[in-house]
Amino acid sequence: MATIRIPTPMRPLTRNQTEVTASGATVREVLKDLDTRFPGIGARVLDERGAVRRYVNIFLNDEDIRALGELDTPVKDADRLTLIPAMAGG
* pLDDT of amino acid 87: 72
Sequence-distant (6+) residues with CB within 8 A of 53 are 44, 45, 46, 47
Instruction: Tell me the residue type at 78.
Output: A
pLDDT in tens, the chain (90 residues): 999 999 999 999 999 999 999 999 999 999 999 999 999 999 999 999 999 999 999 999 999 999 999 999 999 999 999 999 987 655
pTM of the model: 0.92
